[in-house]
Amino acid sequence: DQSTYFENYEKRLMWKGMAINIISPSGTVPAVLHGIDRECRLVVKYADGTEGIVSSGEISIRKK
């Protein structure tokens, strides 16, 4: 069942609420990981307050 899969996936998302860097060919952009959407893409919030979806690429996570 897709709903159960989503809930289990979201529970294992260990970096929720943490600062991350989104790395793409156009550069690196800092953001905060807010969670995932129903298609299991990352939902992020940028420094200017806008939200975005990351469905491919690379992220960098650094614990302080």
Q: What is the pLDDT of residues 18-45, one digit of tens each?
A: 999 998 888 899 999 999 998 888 999 9
pLDDT higher than 80, residue 57: no
User: Considering only CA atoms, which of 7, 3, 25, 57 is closest in space to residue 44?
Assistant: 57
Q: CB neighbours (10 Å) of residue 4?
A: 8
| Helix, strand or coil, per DSSP, at residue 35 | strand
pLDDT higher than 90, residue 6: no
pLDDT higher than 90, residue 12: no
